[in-house]
Chains A and B, each alone.
Chain A
Amino acid sequence: MNEPTEARLRMAGHWLQIGHPERTLDELQGLSGDTALDYRAYLFRGAALHSLDRNAEAIDVLRDGLTRHGPFLPMLQVLGSSLRSEGRLPEAEAAFLQGLSLDPNDPDLLIGYAFVCLAAGQAQKASALVERAASHAPESAAVSAARAQVAFALGNDRDMRRHSTEALSYDPEDPDARALYGTASMLTGDSRSGYSSLASAAASQPGDADLRAAAREARLINHPLLLPLRPFARFNPLVVWIGAVAIIYGLRAAGLAPLSFAFAMIWLAFCVYSWVVPPLVRRWLNRKWGA
């Protein structure tokens, strides 16, 4: 392989690594002849397309690459992730299991497979897979981030916060870790640090619409007009509801019907407020942000 072609491939890999998948594709566009069929060209193109959420194209490219070059772990890894993103979970499982049949202890493949299990609602199995990955790569941000996602799937919001704090401690600038920490903070009622984490994650990944929406939602919850709704974020909304119904019923049972009626009216007004104000503030914030 001649020197400029090799440099081009290396450049494509570099762009991918620093989060510019569209430049990776531009770089790969310039390859021709045999070099366009190099295993790295398939891998980088597939990974770039997956990063850009063009998963159907990524799957075609990676399947071509695997047919041409045989089973290759990083390619199977990206193929599995792309299939998962498309919702083709049994095929994603098959891709990861094919990789794991070659190396049963590869932490990246174990975690990738765990994410497929999470998407299928098999959180216990995902947890076991992540713990196996942890036994081979104990001190890794990927393991902590995966543990945080497993905790989320199992409904253990406090564990999610602990593991996402760990993930953040490995790399405080990592947008994915920040996004996880932000989500965990929101779930555990700390909407202020939730917003700052989600906002900084969104700022460093301007192309990620989901992250931008999450940051916007966090911003909404922190808005002064939504302060009265804070109990819903702090406690389980169902607990707040049951509390309100218990008070209304309790006052009536105690013979304090007028007081019960007054409380019920206040509660009704509060409910109407909780439905009407958030969409209005959301619309206002979106207009202000030019969305």
Chain B
Amino acid sequence: MPDELLRPTIGAGVDMSVRPWRLMLQTYIAFFGGVIASTIIATLNARRLGVDAAKRRLIVLIGVLGLAAVVALFALLNGDDDMTSGLRVSTRVVAVLCCLAQLRLQRPMDRAFQLRGTDYGSLWGPGIAATVGGAVAELLVLLLAARVL
């Protein structure tokens, strides 16, 4: 009887020169840059970690759903002065919650990366760029939503 455990299951090697980013830093990007910023970084990082395509699509889907939730919150809370700060906080909560789900999908491959014993890359440049770019993009989406709604 063939031994299931001793059948080859590894499809591809890993490029040891690719440097993913530390997972925890993504929460800062989610908090300050919003859901678009964290989704961009999570997607790029998942690719660097070698996360499979299905999970990478799920990361993007979570980002899209998060953005939809932000637009919905905007539609509900915008215009009321008392609620503007509530809107700010709640969009951050949505971004961090989405980021949590996106981190969960990256975590097994992040642990595999750590076991390979190579170093992380620096997130300073891409992180700041994604934070600023993501925040501006989210603002534009909300401005567009304000005109449509």
B interface footprint on A222-262 (CB within 8 Å = 1, 0 otherwise): 00000000000000011001100100110011000000000
* A271 to B27 alpha-carbon distance, docked (Å): 12
B90 at the interface (CB under 8 A from A): yes
CB-CB < 8 A to B24: which residues of A? 237-238
**Shortest distance between the CB of B127 and any CB in chain A (Å):** 11
Which of B8, B93, B96 sits near A93, CB closer than 8 Å?
B8
Which of A42-50, A114-122, A198-206 lies at the binding interface? A114-122
| Chain A min CB distance to B122 (Å) | 11
B112 sits at the interface (CB 8 A): yes
Stretch of A9-17, A32-40, A149-157 at the chain-chain interface? A149-157
A281 at the interface (CB under 8 A from B): no
Most buried by B among A89, A101, A248: A89
Confirm or deny: B79 has a beta carbon within 8 angstroms of a beta carbon on chain A: no
CA distance A275 to B28 in the complex (A): 10
- The answer to whether B112 touches A123 (Cβ under 8 A) is yes
Indicate if the CB atoms of A119 and B85 lie closer than 8 Å.
Answer: no
Quick one: which of B6, B14, B93, B109 contacts A97, CB cutoff 8 A?
B6
Question: Given the known A-B contacts A87-B14, A119-B14, are A245 and B50 also in contact in the complex, defined by CB atoms under 8 Å?
Answer: no
Instruction: Count A-B contacts at CB 8 Å.
Output: 96
Question: Known contacts A97-B6, A122-B10: does B86 contact A252 (CB below 8 Å)?
Answer: yes
Q: Which A residues are CB-close (under 8 A) to B114?
A: 152
Tell me if A252 and B6 are in contact (CB < 8 A): no
In the complex, what distance in Å separates the CA atom of A26 from the CA atom of B93?
61
B108 touching A123 by the CB < 8 A rule? yes
Residues of A contacting B50 in the complex (Cβ-Cβ under 8 angstroms) = 121
The 0/1 profile, CB within 8 Å of B marked 1, for residues 67-96 of chain A is 000000000000000000011111111100
Partner of B92, one of A120, A154, A155, A245: A245
Prevailing SS type, chain A contact patch: helix
Interface size of B by CB at 8 A reads: 35
Instruction: Specify which chain A residues have a CB less than 8 angstroms from the CB of B96 in the assembled complex.
Output: 238, 241-242, 245
Q: Which of A58-66, A125-133, A136-144, A164-172 contacts B (4 or more CB under 8 A)?
A: A125-133
A119-B116, A125-B5, A125-B9 given; A241·B31 CB < 8 A: yes
A149 and B27 contacting across the interface, CB-CB below 8 Å: no
Q: Is the CB of A252 within 8 A of B85?
A: yes
A97 to B28 CA separation, bound complex (whole angstroms): 43
Q: Which of A97, A125, A153 contacts B112 (CB 8 A)?
A: A153
Q: Mark B105-139, 1 if CB is under 8 A from A, else 0.
A: 00111011011110000000000000000000000
Which residue among A86, A92, A93 has the maximum number of chain B CB atoms within 10 Å of its CB?
Answer: A93
Q: A128-B5, A132-B5 are in contact. Are A120 and B115 (CB under 8 A)?
A: no
Measured CB to CB, the nearest residue on chain A to B104 is A155
Decide if B14 touches A149 in the complex (CB within 8 Å).
Answer: no
In the complex, which of the residues B3, B12, B31, B100 contacts A90, with contact meaning CB atoms closer than 8 Å?
B12
Q: Is the CB of A97 within 8 A of B27?
A: no
The reply to whether A153 and B31 contact each other, CB–CB distance below 8 Å, is no
A119 near B6 with CB under 8 A, answer no
Give the complex CA separation of A155 and B110 in angstroms: 10
A252-B89 in contact (CB<8A):
yes
> For chain B residues 27-70, which have a beta carbon within 8 Å of chain A?
27-28, 31, 50
Within 8 Å of chain B (Cβ to Cβ): is A210? Answer: yes
Give the residues in chain B near A121, CB-CB below 8 Å.
Answer: 50, 108-109, 112
- Determine if A86 and B16 form an interchain contact, defined as CB atoms under 8 angstroms apart: yes
Tell me if A104 is interfacial: C-beta within 8 Å of chain B.
yes
Q: Which residues of A are at the interface with B, using a C-beta cutoff of 8 A? A: 86-94, 97, 100-101, 104, 115-123, 125, 128-129, 132, 149, 152-155, 210, 237-238, 241-242, 245, 248-249, 252-253, 271, 275
Apart from the given pairs A120-B10, A149-B115, A253-B86, 16 other A-B contacts in the complex at a CB distance below 8 Å: A87-B16, A87-B116, A90-B11, A91-B13, A100-B6, A101-B6, A116-B10, A121-B50, A123-B111, A152-B115, A153-B108, A153-B111, A154-B111, A238-B103, A241-B96, A245-B92
